[in-house]
Amino acid sequence: MIEVRGLTKQYGAVRAVDDLTFDVEPGKVTGFLGPNGAGKSTTMRMILGLDRPTAGRALVGGRPFARLAEPLHVAGALLDAQTVHPGRSGRDHLRVAARTHGIPVRRVDEVIDSVGLGPAARRRVRGYSLGMKQRLGIATALLGDPAVLLFDEPMNGLDLDGVRWIRRLVRDLADEGRTVLLSSHLMSEMEQTADHLVIIGAGRLIADASMQEVVRGEGARRQVRVRTPSLDQLAGALLRLGLRVHPTDDGDLLVEGATAETVGDVALEAGVAVHRLTEEHDSLEQVYLDLTGDSVQYRVSSAPALAGQVRR
Ligand SMILES: Nc1ncnc2c1ncn2[C@@H]1O[C@H](COP(=O)(O)OP(=O)(O)OP(=O)(O)O)[C@@H](O)[C@H]1O
């Protein structure tokens, strides 16, 4: 579990993180989203004790990370895959990390296997692709078998196979009961992977809610697509109920803000045949753009009681 309370970071005139409060719970993949410069990396660095907060605190497993006796056993992180010594092999990098943290060296070969680094592990990091460096960074994070994992843009530089591998990995880690905080700019990936979302903008909390609540919750736009041979008749019946309808180029009717149930019932009452009836929701990408767009009036939620809400 990660607990963030009133976390704030001021860099000169820039307030990079502004009174953030949220929890990252075990057994879930929590997506951490925000536009460039929103403060995600700064928040992760403060959680890991790499930056000192100007105010507030972050606890990992109930304690500040910097005060943990065996930090790699509690939390593992991939922040910047480029920071590995280029002259060492991946395997040596992991062996050094294992030795300095009291982790048995046999664990090194286990994590090499689990991230699929295989024979490349014996080559110098200098020759690694970005994707291989990402795998090595993830191997380092997993080394201490920690209950908490933070991954900052782990899909960067990975090919489709790599992206699918990360998706499975974070799912498995969460299913094992671990706490997983994952930042990514790939909205479609996030939509498939995360169970919960923490969205920030300009250092402030915009949403702290389940994926369902964000994309399908109150305030989310939804519409029903209906196909009928009696389009005018159904449109008329829906309009009489005060619903907004739009015909599409391919001959369907879009009904705004309605459920499939309502549209089906209206069609039945009007004696109109229905050949297709589908509820459509905004994609995470659309919701995210709405939430973080310049026009959005950011409203700050610092009280834990407001968790589970999406501020639109
Ligand atoms: N060491 C620093 N000194 C001064 N300003 C900093 C420092 N680190 C970050 N900032 C500023 O703090 C703000 C938040 O940056 P941060 O890197 O945390 O955002 P981010 O959400 O991770 O962005 P990105 O998605 O681009 O990685 C930005 O305005 C950035 O310029």
ipTM value, please give it: 0.96
170 pLDDT above the threshold of 90: yes
The CB of 40 under 6 Å from ligand 1? The reply is yes
**For 260-283, what is each residue's pLDDT tens digit?**
999 999 999 999 999 999 998 888
CA distance 135 to 163: 11
- Closest C-alpha to ligand 1, atom 10: 16
b/e per residue 211-233 (b: at least 16 CB within 10 A) = bebbbebeebebbbbbbbeebee
Closest ligand 1 atom to the C-alpha of 51?
1
Model confidence at 311, in pLDDT bands (50, 70, 90)?
low
- Read off the pLDDT of each residue in 163-186 and give the average, rounded to a whole number: 94
Predicted confidence (pLDDT) at residue 112 exceeds the cutoff of 50: yes
CA 268 to centroid of ligand 1, rounded, Å: 56
Given the candidates 3.30.70.100, 2.40.110.20, 3.40.50.2000, 3.40.1190.20, the CATH classification of the domain at 222-281 is: 3.30.70.100
State residue 253's pLDDT score. 95
CATH of 2-211+285-310, one of 3.90.950.10, 3.40.50.300, 3.60.20.10, 3.40.109.10: 3.40.50.300
Cα gap 87→120, rounded to integer Å: 14
Inform me whether the pLDDT recorded for 300 exceeds 70.
no
- By C-alpha distance, which of 279, 268, 274 is closest to 229? 274
pLDDT-based confidence at 312, cuts 50/70/90? low
Cα–ligand 1 centroid distance for 14 (angstroms): 9
Domain boundaries, the chain: 2-211+285-310, 222-281
Question: What's the whole-model pTM score?
Answer: 0.83
| Position 212 pLDDT exceeds 50 | yes
Q: Kindly report the average pLDDT of the chain as a whole number.
A: 89
Ligand 1 midpoint to CA 128 (Å) = 27
Question: What is the average per-residue pLDDT within 274-298?
Answer: 78
CA of 96 to the centre of ligand 1 (A): 30
C-alpha to C-alpha distance for 45 and 98, rounded to whole angstroms: 21
100 close to ligand 1 (CB < 6 Angstrom) = no
